[in-house]
Structure 1
Amino acid sequence: MSPDLVIRGGRLACGTAAVKADCLTDCLVKDGRILDVVPHDPDRTYECESVEATGLVLLPSLIDAHAHLREPGQEYKEDIASGLAAAAAGGFGHVMCMANTRPVNDDASITRDMLDIARRSHPHGPRLHPIGALSKGLRAEELAPMADMAQAGCIAFSNDGLPVASAEFFRRAVEYAATFERIVIDHCEEPTMAPAAGMNEGVVSATLGLKGQPWVAEAAQVARDVLLAEYLNLPIHIAHVSCKASVELIAFAKGRGAPVTAETCPHYLLLTEEACLGYSTRAKVNPPLRTQEDVEAMRLAVEGGVIDIIATDHAPHAEHEKEVEFDLAPCGISGLDTALSLVMSLTPGQILSEARVVEAMCHAPGRIFGIPVNRFAPGDPADVVLYDPHHRWVASRETMRSKSLNTPWLGRTIMGRVTAHFMAGRRIV
């Protein structure tokens, strides 16, 4: 069978199953699927479309398990079309978007509208996967109609940035979601301990005279969730883990066989609370950036598999919303454009292995949430990212696709970038 597309001479990323690491390959595509991956022969010719990938790394399209695309209701920050454009440019072929829209995505009609917008704006991908609200209006008073929403296309459920204080309510939500094979994702934050402070409680918060949130506010809720997961024997996914204590609790739970999975974000692997010095609101995020000890713990947890997923927690805000006093600014970092480049910056020094990056940003979220992924085996979807590890670029309005530029890396030089992105063999970047 002859291919209809060949991606020639790229290096297949470590962690894929097709050929040994560091081997230059030709990736053969037929009818939107991987036909074969063979060692590269510069003298071989193909009677089809050919894309030159010399010097580039071939990655599977990534999955972002945690993003905020703001539509409906806050399109001035981001909309589905711009968010998916940023995702495509950043190497993400699938985006799971949170429910804190206006109105909240707590009804099947809203879910269907979001999916329709995504299909019309990006018919060939990236694919949108709405995360439905756990409760009506995110108020944690009444369960959302999760069965209808799952049927409409919600891939999981979460109360997102408004964590559920009642353990009993949260238990019932997990049990209900499990009846139609959906996972609950929890933003772990004890709601009486400086909620959404955006600043870690510690030396830096004291220096700046800001109210901070202690690590125990996150860890206390993680402890509740992992115990419930074990007791119920039902899966719970912990969102954006930021501190060492949470990692230790998750490791403890996994050691006992609890069906717990967890994610962290690039900023928790690269930045400490010191990024907030100078009252930098671009570094204000929830949960807050922590200490160097926490950063080291997060890196070890990702490399060791205690943390399953690296997600962006893409949280776009308009410039005028961030250019206010620190206490008044919203929490959030825009991450779809930059996440892959930032995470891959940790691989040259072996802080993270390339295989773990592929697992944490593609294979693990695909396995946990049931999204088909490309492992470069025959029959897999031909969702392929070409990544140039030597490309230098500056994060700016000219280089980012998101509407919002609220990132601590704005104006900074970043090494490595996506140069092309294919979904089902069709080029989308």
Structure 2
Amino acid sequence: MKGDFLIKKAKLVDGRGVHGTADVLIGEGRILSLSGGEAPSVLDASGMILSPGFFDPHAHLREPGQEVKEDLQSGLTAAARGGYTDIVSMPNTTPVVDNPEIVAALKKKAAQIQQARLHPAAALTQGQEGKVLSEAHRLQEAGAVMLTDDGKTNEDAGVLAQGLLYAASWGLVVAVHAEDAGLRRNGVMNEGAVSYRLGLPGNSGYAESARIARDLEVVRYVLDRLAAKAAPDRLLHIQHLSTRRGLELIRQAKHQGLPVTTEVGPHHLTLTEEALNGLNPLYKVAPPLRTQSDVEALIEGLLDGSIDCIGTDHAPHTQDEKELDLLRAPFGIPSLEVCWPLLYTELVEKRGFPLDVLVARFTDGPRRVLGFPPLHLEEGAEASLVLWNPSAQRAVEPQTFASKARFSPWAGWELKGWPVCTWVEGQMVCKAMEGEGIGQSAP
């Protein structure tokens, strides 16, 4: 059998488990064989792991209108460098992605870039103003995979309910930034002992849990309205979960059968409010970094499946913006290129977190949230893959990022698990930086 690439001696890990070593033949955009074959390009993957490509359900790529921070070229390249084959872009751009023409234009441009695949999210409401709903059906036809006013909170429960009803009609999920604006106020960090000591305005964890509680009641209301129809298996997606209490509410809702999903970001799994002791705005995110107790709860939720997936919430800004003081600097951390090695190192290597479960949260989990079929390592499956090195270690060096946001709260951290090759539908879109140990030869 002949193909385009032969990946020799790769250990296979997907969301179903850790498998043996195989010689994976790729051709015609698919996995042709797991037992070798002929190809013009042969990669020696000894000691490396092959997984389905990662899928990020939550990233800010800033195009259109904010290209000084990031654009599709830099963002999708950064995603491929991080092992992502698919990425959902948020609509809080300039202008807001709230009409089908913008969605279609983004899809067309991204396809020409030929890096990670782009799946645009569109605004739930026009202009993300929380008042008038966007046209869900037309947005879906143009290629939108999610409706969300992310970056803003949905204050009008009635508008959210109507949006959920419309979204259900077209098989779309609605994602929400779950923070109560009245409780959040102007907080720049978690409200608690550290914020009190520093004299900084705090954002209480109850801002998140109070809004989650309300939104879950809205879901129940919508399900009552849909009683005569088949209830959707996914409807509300809660973004960037950060608190133990919020997780408790979601876990309970899932046990009751509500069509609710959630994600957690790498920063809420690896950093706490203590990082703000130095007043460094690199650690300023929304929702804010919480306590170690919250971190432990979120890791447990990731393990038991209460948390469905990892969403980076990749949020690039200019260097000048992030060098402002803590009160004025914008919220956000860039993380596309470090998310996998960070969580592999901090969870699998240091805590013994099951590798296949982590892979599932990067692959099957986000796909399920968005209604995409799972992607596993089997003959005939789409060859959207990432090959990564579980043993080679190097430090996070933001100056080498493909992203325009060349800063990181993890700068200098020594990590393992760095991606070395990424394929999208059988096409290699990213290869390891020089010296990262992948051999290539003729057959």
TM-score by length of 1: 0.94
Tell me, yes or no, if the aligned pair for 2:400 and 2:406 is still in contact at 8 Å.
no
Partner of 1:410: 411
Residue 337 of structure 2 is matched in structure 1 by 337
For 2:164, the equivalent position in structure 1 comes to 174
Q: 1:26-425 maps to which residues of 2 (within 5 A)?
A: 26-38=23-35, 46=38, 48-122=40-114, 125-195=115-185, 197-233=187-223, 234=232, 235-345=235-345, 346-425=347-426
What amino acid maps onto 2:25 in structure 1? L
Task: Give the Cα–Cα distance (whole angstroms) in 2 for the partners of residues 159 and 352 of structure 1.
Answer: 33
Per-residue CA deviations over 1:331-375 (Å, capped at 9, x if unaligned) read 001010110111111112445211111111111111221335530
Aligned to 1:8: 8
CA distance, structure 2, for counterparts of residue 398 and residue 190 of structure 1: 36
Letter in 1 for 2:333: I
How far apart are residue 280 of structure 1 and its match?
A: 1.1
Cα deviation, residue 147, structure 1: 1.6
Cα distance in 2 for partners of 1:111, 1:45 equals 40
Shift of 1:177: 1.2
Q: Which amino acid aligns with 1:425?
A: G
| Deviation sequence 1:96-147 (CA, Å, 0-9, x none) | 010000000011111111112211222xx31101100011111101111222
* Structure 1: distance between partners of 2:377 and 2:261: 25
Taking a change above 3 Å as real, the CA distance of residues 224 and 426 of structure 1, as seen in their structure-2 partners, is same
- Tell me which amino acid in the other structure corresponds to 1:404: A
Cα distance between partner residues in 2 of 1:121 and 1:283: 31
Deviations 1:250-286 (A, max 9, x none): 0110111111110001111111111111111111000
| CA distance in structure 2 between the aligned counterparts of 1:196 and 1:130, rounded to whole angstroms | 29
Question: How many angstroms apart in 2 are the aligned matches of 1:89 and 1:24?
Answer: 24
Deviations 1:60-92 (A, max 9, x none): 100000000001111010001100000000000
Give the drift of 1:10: 1.2
Deviations 1:284-307 (A, max 9, x none): 000000000000000000000000
Segments of structure 2 that go 5 or more residues without pairing to the other structure are 224-231, 431-443
Are the equivalent residues in 2 in contact too, given 1:14–1:354 (CA < 8 A)? no
- The alignment's TM-score, normalised by the length of structure 2, stands at 0.91
Distance 1:182 1:15, change over 3 A: closer
Rounded to whole Å, the distance in 2 between the matches of 1:100 and 1:47 is: 44
Residue type of the alignment partner of 1:247? L
Identity value in percent: 37
Q: Is the 8 A contact 1:230 1:253 kept in 2?
A: no
Q: Structure 1 residues 397, 408: CA separation in 2 closer, same or farther (over 3 Å shift)?
A: closer
State the distance in 2 between where 1:324 and 1:368 align. 36
State the shift of 1:230 in Å.
Answer: 3.2
8 Å contact from structure 2 (residues 399, 407) kept in 1: no
Give, in whole Å, the separation in 1 of the partners of 2:107 and 2:239: 23
User: What is the number of residues matched between the two proteins?
Assistant: 419
Measured after TM superposition, the shift of residue 48 of structure 1 is 4.3
CA distance in 2 between counterparts of 1:164 and 1:275 reads 29
Q: Which amino acid aligns with 1:263?
A: E
Give the distance between the partners of 1:387 and 1:59, measured in 2 at CA: 8
User: Deviations 1:24-67 (Å, cap 9, x if unpaired)?
Assistant: 211122311012324xxxxx774543111011111110000000
Contact 2:14 2:376 in 1 (8 A): no
Q: Any conservation in 2 of the 1:236–1:259 contact (CA below 8 Å)?
A: yes
